[in-house]
Amino acid sequence: MAVTADLPTFQPGAREAHPIARLVRRRLAIGVLTLFLVSVVVFVATEVLPGNAAYAILGRNASPVRVRALETTLHLNRGLFAQYWVWISGLFDGRLGNSLLNGQPVWNLVEPRLVNSAVLVLVTGVIGSLLGMALGALAAVRKDGWFDHIMSLVVLAATSLPEFVVAIGLIILFATDIWHLLPGVSLLPPGTYAWSQPQLLVLPVATLVIVIVPYTMRMMRAAMVEALESDYVEMARLKGVPEWRVVLVHALPNAIAPTIQVIGLGFLYLAGGIVIVENVFNFPGIGQGLVYAVDGRDIPVIQLIVVVLAAFYVVMNILTDVIALMATPRRRIAR
């Protein structure tokens, strides 16, 4: 009986899966386009602009013979599109060329560094995101209490501080006179893996966690405050729902979705943060590798590392977008 006059316009199933698939496809397409443009920018910046890379490497007074030789190594003697093609196809089939500094294959130089940095970013990302969400939720539930006030000051300070200042502060506290607990710089030779000496990870991870937690935390707090002041939470309270259930069942799921997107941004900060932090702690990752390469103008290495970092960010972004989308049923049908 009793079918309402206001007719349901919704057909289950038909609309459920479709829009999300379309959105993922759209995000993927934009991601691929972005990556393509990134590769062009990297290529143009390192090989075309301004003037000849060979001279940039060898100096203005290099002999024509050496310049010609280097140009051949770098494929600079071919047309622009051919050069790009050689380079981009190298990215896919692993023929990335050799380092200009020591002649070793680029991949052999970068691969162990990549693994080390991945471990650093992953450990930091997981700890930072979980900690940020927990602290943010707590601050929101205790809004305007002492914990919230203290955290807001801590967040303010932590978002302002440069990574190297945080790192130096931690070194002074934990690796010099005050408490000599941890190694201040890692003595890992390049080419070895970080997990062989896990205590070396402690300070770099701590530094990066301090740098990224505030962003996640701030967003989580804001989203949680908004949820706790929403009509549906007021409604739940007026239904007599116990407060713990209001927080965990009604507010929390609504606060997580917007926070996930900020976690994606946190990974962007990490991608930049490792450059500085790895250099402070002498940690053999791609950040340190990038600075070495820029110092020595080792163009193939620079290209590879920059493209990897950019690709990492683009992929993370798509991932967090899609996860956030799936966490909110309301958004699933929004365009």
Partner 1 sequence: MSEPEVRGAAQREVRLKVTGLEVRLGRSGPDVVGDVSFAVPAGQVLGLVGESGSGKTTVALALLGHTRRGLRITAGQVLLDGTDLLALSPRDLRAARGARVSYVPQDPSSALNPTLRVGTQIREVLRVHPGAAGDAGDRVAEVMREAYLDPTPEMLRRYPHQLSGGQQQRITLAMAFACRPSLIVLDEPTTGLDVSTQRHVLDTVRSLCRSYGVAAVYVSHDLAVVSGLVSEVAVMYAGRVVEIGPVARLFGEPVHPYTRGLIGAVPSPERAEALAGIDGQQPRPGRRGAGCSFAARCDHATGDCTTEAPEPVTVAGRSVRCLRAREIQATHPERVPAVAGKPAAPAAPALSVRGVTASYGSTPVLSGVGLEVPPRACVAVVGESGSGKTTLARCVAGLHGNWTGEITFQGAPLARGARQRDKDVLRRVQYIFQNPYTSLNPRKTVGQIIDQQLKQFTGLSRRDRSARAAGVLEDVSLGQDLLSCYPDQLSGGERQRVAIARALVVQPELLICDEVTSSLDVSVQAIIVELLRRIQRERHLAMIFITHNLALVRSIAQSAVVLRRGAVAESGPVGQILEHPADPYTRRLMQDVPKLTRSETRFETHGPPSPRSA
Partner 2 sequence: MTVNAPAVPPAAPPSRPLRGAGRRRSSVLLAAVRTPRGAIGLGMAAMVVLAAVIGPLVAPYAPDALVTLALGKPNGQFLLGGDYLGRDVLSRVLDGGWVLLVMAACATALGIAGGALAGVSAAYLRGVSDGIIMRAVDVILSFPQVVFALLLLSLLGPRLWLITIAVGVSHAPQVARVLRSATLDVSERDFVKAAELQGMRPIKVMAKEILPNLISPLMVEAGLRLTYSIVVIAGLAFLGFGQPPPAANWGTMIYENRIGLSVNPWAVIVPAALIALLTIGINTFTDAFARVVIGVDRRPEQAALIDDLGQELSK
Out of 101, 241, 291, 327, point to the residue binding partner 2 (CB under 8 A): 291
Nearer to partner 2, 161 or 202 (CB): 161
* One of 53, 106, 206, 209 touching partner 2 (CB under 8 A): 53
Instruction: Residue 65: name its binding partner from partner 2, partner 1, none (Cβ under 5 to 8 Å by kind).
Output: none
Neighbours of 169 (CB within 10 A): 13
By CB under 8 A, residue 240 contacts partner 1: yes
The reply on whether position 333 binds partner 1 by CB under 8 A is: yes
Instruction: Establish if 163 lies at the interface with partner 2 (CB under 8 A).
Output: yes
The two three-digit tokens of residue 318, written as one number: 């798509």
Q: CA-CA distance, 68 to 58, in Å (whole number)?
A: 11
The 10 Å CB-count burial string (b at 16+, else e) for 68-89 is eebbeebbbeeeeeebbeebee
Residues 172-231, interacting with partner 1 (CB under 8 A) = 229-231
From the list 140, 136, 41, the residue with the least C-alpha distance to 88 is 41
The answer to the question of residue 326 lying near partner 1 (CB under 8 A) is no
Under the criterion CB under 8 A, does residue 161 sit at the interface with partner 2? yes
Q: Does the protein bind partner 1 through residue 248 (CB under 8 A)? A: no
User: Does 120 participate in binding partner 2 (rule CB under 8 A)?
Assistant: no
Binding partner of 156, given partner 2, partner 1, none, CB within 5-8 angstroms per partner class:
partner 2
Q: How far is the CB of 131 from partner 1 (least distance, A)?
A: 23
Q: Measured from the CB atom, is 205 or 251 closer to partner 1?
A: 251
Sole binder of partner 2 in the list 210, 246, 252, 314 (CB under 8 A):
314
| Contact set for partner 1, span 5-24 (CB under 8 A) | 5-10, 12
**Min CB(147)–partner 1 separation in Å:** 19
| Residue 60 within binding range of partner 1, rule CB under 8 A | no
Q: What is the CA radius of gyration of the chain?
A: 25
- Is 328 a binding residue for partner 1 by CB under 8 A? The answer is yes
Q: Which of 20, 34, 92 is nearest to 332 (CA)?
A: 20
Judged by beta carbon, residue 24 or residue 294, the one nearer partner 2 is 294
**Interacting residues toward partner 1 by CB under 8 A:** 1-10, 12, 229-232, 234-242, 245, 249-250, 253-254, 327-330, 333
Sites of contact with partner 2 (CB under 8 A): 30, 33-35, 37-38, 41-42, 45-46, 49-50, 53, 56, 156-157, 159-165, 168-169, 171-172, 176-177, 184, 268-269, 271-273, 275-276, 279-280, 290-291, 293-295, 297, 299, 302, 306, 309-311, 313-314
